[in-house]
Amino acid sequence: MNTVLVTGGAGYIGSHACKALKATGYTPVTYDNLVTGWEDAVKFGPFECGDLLDRARLDAVFQKHNPIAVMHFAALSQVGESMQDPGSYWRNNVAGSLTLIEAAVAARCTKFVFSSTCATYGDQDNVVLNEDSAQHPINAYGASKRAIEDILKDFEAAFGLRHVIFRYFNVAGADPDGEVGEFHRPETHLIPVLLDAIDGKRDALTIHGTDYATPDGTCIRDYVHVCDLVDAHVLGLKWLQEDKGSRIFNLGTGSGFSVREVMDHSRTVTNRDVPHREGPRRPGDCTKLVSGSVRAEQELGWRPERSTLKHMITDAWRWHQNGHYDS
């Protein structure tokens, strides 16, 4: 059986990955402690509740399901929180991932797909980033992800643990079928926060900085649809199954959108105004953060077909209205 252990499979990206895996003939086994995930999102395969730091629990799950690969999403992922409480990020993300990697090697599960981040590159304003760009993370979140990348390289050298690492940019959108979607407590991502403001669930969207050196003064980010993103992870798994060796891929579209552009598209999709206020810049925010990589397209055959603002906001708005796990 083509079973894949998906850590964080009850979370936003992990649940979409489980759906994509099932649709392509794999059996996803979700491993999640439900601290930030939702059991209602586990719809596409077995669920095993457990923590990354619990080696005995991990060993039992590997023995029970005998997965052919690990797809690792489980992590704390809030930049601001990581600056205030770095210890939890090093403990959960790094120590937890090390425990998972050691358990995988012990179980002879030597294919590993890892969810990393463009935050490993740090603050490089107006630099179009590719996989060879220097990594200088400026917060514990980015630093923890870079450390895990280094651990994977060491375990490949020592034990033959082959891996595909995906560093991705701003993930947005939701499952077009409405089965799973984005839901965090608290919500910090631009599009769901903006939709909350439109829907009256918060009083206004705060624009953090309007004096950037961009056409409209707001910062620019590269957005990728969550369904396109998880399609890349399935392609990465197949890459490993074809014995093509370890590889790092950026996942972005190469196009960036400003905060005001996202707001304008949201008005068009929802036919509603966006209540908003202007605030100061946040520490560490870059002017422009955009992927310049074509490696995933050239080597994996990846095409981010739904990664337009219209698609991402339309799918997110549908989920926002109909699919919340707390509704």
- Whole-number Å distance between alpha carbons of 170 and 279: 21
- Whole-number Å distance between alpha carbons of 29 and 9: 8
Among residues 67, 59, 64, the alpha carbon closest in space to that of 18 is found at 67
| Mode of pairing for the β-strands spanning 220-221 and 257-258 | antiparallel
CA atoms within 13 A on the CB side of 233: 33
Torsion angle defined by CA atoms of residues 318, 254, 208 and 270, in that order, rounded to the nearest 10 degrees? -20
Answer for the pair 9, 15: CB distance below 8 angstroms, yes or no. Answer: yes
Q: Token pair for residue 2?
A: 């083509």
Whether 223 is a known active-site residue: answer no
- Whole-number Å distance between alpha carbons of 215 and 107: 53
- Whole-number Å distance between alpha carbons of 195 and 151: 38
Region at 258 (left for phi over 0; alpha for psi -120 to 50; beta for the rest)? beta
| 3-state class (DSSP) for residue 271 | coil
Q: Token pair for residue 106?
A: 């012990």
| Sign of the CA dihedral running 198, 200, 204, 207 | negative
Burial class (CB in 10 A: 0-12, 13-18, 19+), 84: exposed
- Whole-number Å distance between alpha carbons of 32 and 14: 10
End-to-end CA distance of the chain: 35
Residue among 141, 168, 212, 223 flagged as catalytic: 141
Active site residue ranges: 141
